[in-house]
Amino acid sequence: MTNCFIKSCKNKSTIMLSYINRGYCDKHFMELIEKRVRKELRVNKIIDVKKKYNILADNSKEFLISKYILNSIFGRALKLEVVNEIKSKNTIVPTNMDREINSMFDAFLKNKSIPQKIGITILDNVLDEELMHIAKILNIKNATQEDRLALIEEVNSKHLIKFSLKKSLNHVREMENGKN
Ligand SMILES: [Zn+2]
C-alpha cells in the first residue's frame, strides 16, 4: 500500500479509492467521509438540533454508520430516537449512494417516475465501497455489500463517475418534482 494522501501523516494507506487515485489511512479516511457528510448536512440544512429525530433501525451497516457519524458530528446536542418503523418525516433512513443511484437509474431506464425520498438520508453521498471500509474500521460484523447494477458499473468505469451520475439523477428528480 502507498502512504496516506495527507502529507503530514506517516501512516500507510488502508484503502485505495476506486474513483480517484488516492489512498488514506483509517483515521484520515474517516475524517474525509465525516467532512463530506457534515458539508452535505450543512449545505442542505438537513438537521436542526432544535428538532427531534428518529432513526430507522434495520441493523444494516448504513444504520450503524449513520448513528456513529451523527454522534460524532452532534454528540448529545442531537436528540435521536431509534425506531422500528417510519412514522414521521423526521426519520433518518439508512441508505447509501449506490442504492440511491440504482433505484433512480432503474426507474429512469424503465421510464417510470423516479421514486420520491422517504424521510431523511445522510449517507446518500457515500459509496457502498466506502461504507464497507468504514464497517471494517468500526468492526461492524456481517456488513453486506449492495447489489450492483452491471450497467451502472460499466457506465461508471467508462464515462462518468458515480458522483456526477447521482447529481444528474437528483436534478431529474427535482424537475419531476417541479422544484425547478
Ligand atoms: Zn493518514
Q: Quote the pLDDT of residue 118.
A: 87
As its CATH architecture, domain 35-176 has: 3-Layer(aba) Sandwich (3.40)
SS3 content of the chain, % helix, strand, coil (to 5): 45, 10, 45
Determine the distance separating the centroid of ligand 1 and the alpha carbon of 7, expressed in angstroms. 8
Determine the distance separating the centroid of ligand 1 and the alpha carbon of 30, expressed in angstroms. 10
Measured in degrees and rounded to the nearest 5, phi and psi for residue 5 equal: -60, -30
**Average pLDDT of 8-16?**
95
Determine the distance separating the centroid of ligand 1 and the alpha carbon of 14, expressed in angstroms. 9
Which residues are in the CB-under-5-Å shell of ion ligand 1? 4, 6, 9, 11, 25, 28
What is the Cα–Cα distance from 114 to 108, expressed in whole angstroms? 6
Determine the distance separating the centroid of ligand 1 and the alpha carbon of 31, expressed in angstroms. 9
pLDDT band at 104 (very low <50, low <70, confident <90, very high): confident
pLDDT band at 180 (very low <50, low <70, confident <90, very high): very low
